[in-house]
Amino acid sequence: MKKLAVVALGGNALLQSNQKGTIEEQEANALETSECLLKLLKRDYNLVITHGNGPQVGNIMLANAAGFKNYGIPEMPLDICVAYSQGFIGYIIEQQLKNVLEANDMDRDIITIATQVLVKKDDPAFQNPTKPVGPYYSLEESQAMAAETDAKFAEDPRGRGWRKVVASPKPLVIINKKTIEKIAREGHIVIAVGGGGIPVFYVSPNKLQGIDAVIDKDLASALLASQINADKLFILTDVPKVCLNYNTPQETSLDRLTIAEARQYLKEGQFAEGSMGPKIRAAIHFVEHSGKDTIITKTTMLGIDHGGTRITFV
């Protein structure tokens, strides 16, 4: 039986911080990412692909606001914006990955599933928004927007500017997880839990409803990986390995981490929120619940022996 991997694509897999966000740019990035995914397919993995949507969903929200201001078009809530982003990002990945497969004489269906993820309405995250979405602003721009809209902004830990932050509740259940696993184990490639999934809750027994939030993509990916019994979780980012003392003269890259070591480094503040911190927590979740390894690495290092940082149980 082929191994099953969940691959969580970082935001730079489709849109990089120095780009405008045109479809041509996103298609070119998705094509490059797909070439890297091919390495896993050639190593006999079945794949479930997840992806971020921070820049894209932020742009959808900006377009909503402009449409309302200029034309009176009703603004869509955040859960609907996430669903929008799942559709168009999934389409881009599907198309570019299909191009790569056909160029390499590989025949697999690629299926995007609009994925709802159950959260709690009373999750404490709603009182403390931390999840960054949308473009980067200067301090002055963010202060002006906050005064006008009551939105909350936070400084990027890597000094790239200020971004709007929204609530990021804990994912509890991936809806349709059985179907996601079934399709993937049949050899088809599934794109699911885009942007962390569409956040929903039970407004009453047997009645789901969307809620204004963005779920952390890496944590939702880890939950999905554990719930579909994946053999490995790959969390892709824009650095080759996890580092201690990141971006300082004392920076040290790590080849391997146990979950006990990872927890200790988190406690010491080694991994910034909005950056490596959520990825480490996601890795811990998957390893703890599955006993299998997580690999955190750069997209171009995917499928390379001893590439990235391996997070293990012991």
Residue 133 lies in a domain: yes
Asked whether residue 222 is assigned to any structural domain, the reply reads: yes
Range of the domain at 100: 3-237
Decide if 274 is catalytic: no
Q: Find the catalytic residue in 46, 53, 59, 131.
A: 131
In a domain, 281, yes or no: no
| Within-domain flag for 53 | yes
Active site residue 11: yes
Based on the residue annotation, tell me whether 131 is a catalytic residue of this protein: yes
For the question of residue 279 being annotated catalytic, the response is yes
pLDDT level of residue 110 (50, 70, 90 thresholds): very high
Tens-place pLDDT, residues 115-159: 999 999 999 999 999 888 877 889 999 999 899 888 899 998 878
Q: Of 10, 12, 52, 232, which residue is the catalytic one?
A: 12
Region 262-272 average pLDDT: 96
Within a domain: 310: no
The answer as to whether 313 is a domain residue is no
Q: How many domains would you assign to the chain? A: 1
In a domain, 278, yes or no: no
For this structure, is 121 an active site residue? no
Q: Which of 58, 134, 195, 217 is catalytic?
A: 217
pLDDT score of 112: 98
CATH number of the domain at 43, please: 3.40.1160.10
In DSSP notation, the chain reads: --EEEEEEE-GGGT--TTS---HHHHHHHHHHHHHHHHHHHHTTEEEEEEE--HHHHHHHHHHHHHHHHHH-PPPPPHHHHHHHHHHHHHHHHHHHHHHHHHHTT----EEE---EEE--TT-GGGGS--EEEEEEE-HHHHHHHHHHH--EEEE-TTSS-EEEEE--PPP-EETTHHHHHHHHHTT-EEE-SGGG-EEEEEEETTEEEE-S----HHHHHHHHHHHTT-SEEEEEESSSS-EESTTSTT-EE-SEEEHHHHHHHHHTT-S-TTTHHHHHHHHHHHHHHHS--EEEEEGGGTT-TT-SEEEE--
Classify residue 211: in a domain, yes or no. Answer: yes
pLDDT for residue 115: 98
